[in-house]
Structures are given as structure tokens and as C-alpha cells.
């Protein structure tokens, strides 16, 4: 596990890497430091903000065209011993996702600042397809092997009713969605990873984890690494994806640069990265956004309880 100083050094290194694609006028390091200080103040003084429903982000993502193309990248350097280049990260994701695991996911907006940091916690049992997720301790998703149950929180009930033309009963606080309907395209996965939104079910679930790392490039051995009870190797990587902007010749490009720690059993222990999103040549600016993301994996093979909401609390997502 990284010390605070090591984490700061890693963040600075990733910010420097991200700055290769960022205009000189944008001071990412200053923004990151200011963000951290303001976040400390907000944790002491800000009121608890209501979260929107998990389906809100999923519906928004589903409205986007799914024609996604991976951004062309130079050929990566020869793979280090023990990890077969990009395929090695995919293999590590598959090993990690093959057994029960837990993951903590922290995202911090850096540029521009857009609200407090959020911590998502997920627990998954891939054999049964069971699991659960929380955001800042609020229960937002559950799995039972066939369906995903997404929480409809009070702040989003009216939006839900307007979008689907339904009237929710007072006790209906969960929406049932068939799992295969969730999109796992690289662009959408990376966008949700950057946003830290409640649609992170796509990123943190076993299929999402594998899909996310399939497109990795520039995989390189950066040295030995260790944590409580394990040792392994750290690898740097890059993820890039783009999506055309409707009714234009522009494309939005999302890039993640970071490091992933893999233990001697081939399991992912942590992933730290910096994600940037921009639309080059867009009128009025490229809309640059930057977020730091951190995922920590644990609890390998430990039991994951599956708790399904009672039928009286569930609404099946209406057809649109």
C-alpha cells in the first residue's frame, strides 16, 4: 500500500504525463492541490448531497451512439517477462474476475472542479453473478446472477417518472434491469470511470473490468511492488477510446494513463490513473476534463452475501 508521500509523487507523475496532451495554460498540479485543500474543507462543512439514481447515467449512456473506435496508438514496447503486453493485463483482469473480490474506487475531479470526491465500494461473486455496490456508504446496486437492481433515490424520482412515463409507488425504490443491457464499450466504460458516476457498475463488475483493460497499450514493467501479505510487479499502461460527436466531424477522445499492480498470483491489487477527456477543434473550446482515479482490490475468494430487494420495492424498467 502506498504511503501518502508516495501517492502524491505518483499523482504528480501522472499529472505530468497527462499534461503532454493539455494546453500549457492549464496548471493541473495547482488544480490538484487546490482541489485537495477544498475537499478537506467540504468534508467538514458540506451537507450530505442526494445522489441521483444509478439508471440516470445508464440511460444517458444508452442514448449515445455505440459506434466506438479505439484510438490508433504507436506499437508498444516489447512485453516484459511474465506479462505478455496488453494481453497480460486482460489476463490479469480475467484472473481477478474469476473469483470473489471486493474493490474500492475513488475518483477526484481535477479540471474542472465539479463536486466532492466519491468512494464507490463493490463486492462481486462471479460464479453466482451476485454482488452489491455503495457510493459513500449509500446502497446503489445489487446483483442476483440474472438482474441488476439499481437504487432510485429520492432526488431522482420525479426525473425517473418523467423519463419513463410512470408513477412510482411510495415503496418502489429499486429498478430491475437485465444485466446484458448494460453497455460495456471502451468509451462508455472510460467515461464512467472518469466521472465516478453511479453507472460504475459497468466498470467494477467482473465483465466490465475485463472489457476495460482489453484495450490497454504501452504496457511496460516499472518495477517490483508489495503490499500487506503480497508482492508483485507494477506496470504502466494507457487506454484510449473515441466517439464521434453527432452531426459533426468532431470526436471526443478519452485517455487514461496510469499504473496497475499485479501480485504473484496474477491478480490485480491496485490501479491508479489520470483520465482526460477532450473534443479537439470544438467551437468554444475542447471541453477538457481531468480526473484522478484509484481502484484497490481485496477480499479474494471471500464469501459475498446476495441480498435481493423484496418485490414490493421493485419496478421493472419500462420499455421506451
Tens digits of residue pLDDT in 265-280: 999 999 999 989 999 9
Domain range for 279 is: 4-316
The span from the CA of 315 to the CA of 320, in Å, is 14
Q: Cell numbers at residue 217, please?
A: 497499450
Question: Contact 250/280 with Cβ under 8 angstroms?
Answer: yes
CA distance 180 to 177: 9
Beta strands in the chain (DSSP E): 101-111, 118-125, 130-135, 138-144, 147-151, 174-178, 217-227, 230-244, 251-263, 268-278, 289-298, 314-316
Which bin fits 91, alpha (ψ -120 to 50), beta or left (φ > 0)? alpha
Q: What is the pLDDT of residues 108-117, one digit of tens each?
A: 888 876 667 7
pTM for this predicted structure: 0.70
Cell of 280: 479537439
Q: What is the pLDDT at residue 180?
A: 55
Residues 6+ apart with CB under 8 A from 44: none
Tally of domains in the chain: 1
Q: CA-to-CA distance for 82 and 60, rounded, in angstroms?
A: 40
DSSP letter string, 11-58: HHHHHHHHGGGS-TT--HHHHHHHHHHHHHHHHHHPPPPPPPPHHHHH
pLDDT in tens, 51-87: 333 333 333 332 222 222 222 233 333 334 445 577 8
Which residue from 265, 208, 271 is spatially nearest to 234, judged by alpha carbons?
Answer: 271
pLDDT attached to residue 25? 46
- DSSP single-letter state for residue 140: E
Mean residue pLDDT across the chain: 74
What is the pLDDT at residue 136? 84
Ordered strands of the 268-278 beta sheet: 217-227, 230-244, 251-263, 268-278, 289-298, 101-111, 118-125, 130-135, 138-144, 147-151, 174-178, 314-316
What sections of 165-279 are H helices per DSSP?
186-195, 201-204, 206-213
Across-strand partners of 227? 230
* Residues 161-188 pLDDT 10s: 999 999 999 999 999 988 655 566 778 7
| Interatomic CA distance for residues 28 and 22, integer angstroms | 9
Question: Contact, 115 vs 39, CB < 8 A?
Answer: no
Rounded alpha-carbon distances, angstroms, from residue 57 to 36, 66, 198, 208: 26, 15, 7, 16
Query: Which percentage of the chain shows pLDDT scores above 70?
Result: 68
* Positions in the chain short of pLDDT 50: 1-5, 7-8, 11, 15, 18-19, 21-82, 198
Residue 298: φ, ψ to 5°: -160, -175
CB atoms within 10 A of CB 156: 19
For 145, counting Cβ atoms within 10 Å of its Cβ (0-12 exposed, 13-18 middle, 19+ buried), the class is middle
Amino acid at each position: 500500500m502506498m504511503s501518502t508521500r508516495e501517492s502524491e509523487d505518483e499523482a504528480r507523475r501522472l499529472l505530468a504525463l497527462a499534461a503532454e496532451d493539455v494546453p500549457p495554460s492549464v496548471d493541473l498540479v495547482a488544480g490538484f492541490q487546490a482541489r485537495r485543500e477544498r475537499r478537506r474543507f467540504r468534508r467538514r462543512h458540506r451537507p450530505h448531497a442526494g445522489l441521483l439514481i444509478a439508471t440516470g447515467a445508464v440511460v444517458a449512456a444508452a442514448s449515445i451512439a455505440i459506434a466506438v473506435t479505439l484510438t490508433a496508438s504507436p506499437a508498444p514496447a516489447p512485453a516484459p517477462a511474465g506479462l505478455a503486453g496488453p494481453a497480460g493485463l486482460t489476463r490479469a483482469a480475467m484472473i481477478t474476475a474469476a473469483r470473489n473480490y471486493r474493490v474500492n474506487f475513488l475518483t477526484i475531479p481535477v479540471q474542472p472542479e465539479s463536486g466532492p470526491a466519491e468512494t464507490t465500494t463493490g463486492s462481486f461473486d462471479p460464479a453466482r453473478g451476485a454482488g452489491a455496490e455503495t457510493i459513500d456508504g449509500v446502497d446503489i446496486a445489487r446483483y442476483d446472477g440474472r438482474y441488476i437492481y439499481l437504487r432510485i433515490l429520492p432526488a431522482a424520482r420525479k426525473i425517473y417518472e418523467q423519463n419513463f412515463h410512470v408513477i412510482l409507488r411510495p415503496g418502489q425504490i429499486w429498478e430491475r434491469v437485465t444485466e446484458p443491457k448494460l453497455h460495456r464499450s471502451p468509451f462508455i466504460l472510460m467515461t464512467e470511470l472518469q466521472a465516478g458516476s453511479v453507472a460504475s457498475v459497468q466498470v467494477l463488475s467482473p465483465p466490465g473490468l475485463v472489457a476495460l483493460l482489453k484495450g490497454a497499450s504501452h504496457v511496460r514493467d516499472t518495477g517490483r511492488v508489495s503490499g500487506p501479505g503480497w508482492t508483485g510487479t507494477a506496470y504502466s499502461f494507457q487506454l484510449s477510446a473515441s466517439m464521434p460527436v453527432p452531426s459533426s466531424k468532431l470526436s471526443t477522445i478519452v485517455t487514461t494513463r496510469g499504473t496497475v499492480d499485479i501480485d504473484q498470483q496474477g491478480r490485480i491489487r491496485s490501479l491508479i490513473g489520470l483520465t482526460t477527456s477532450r473534443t479537439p477543434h470544438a467551437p468554444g473550446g475542447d471541453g477538457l476534463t481531468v480526473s484522478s482515479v484509484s481502484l484497490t482490490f481485496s477480499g479474494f475468494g471471500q464469501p459475498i452475501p446476495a441480498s435481493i430487494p423484496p418485490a414490493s420495492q421493485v419496478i421493472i424498467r419500462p420499455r421506451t
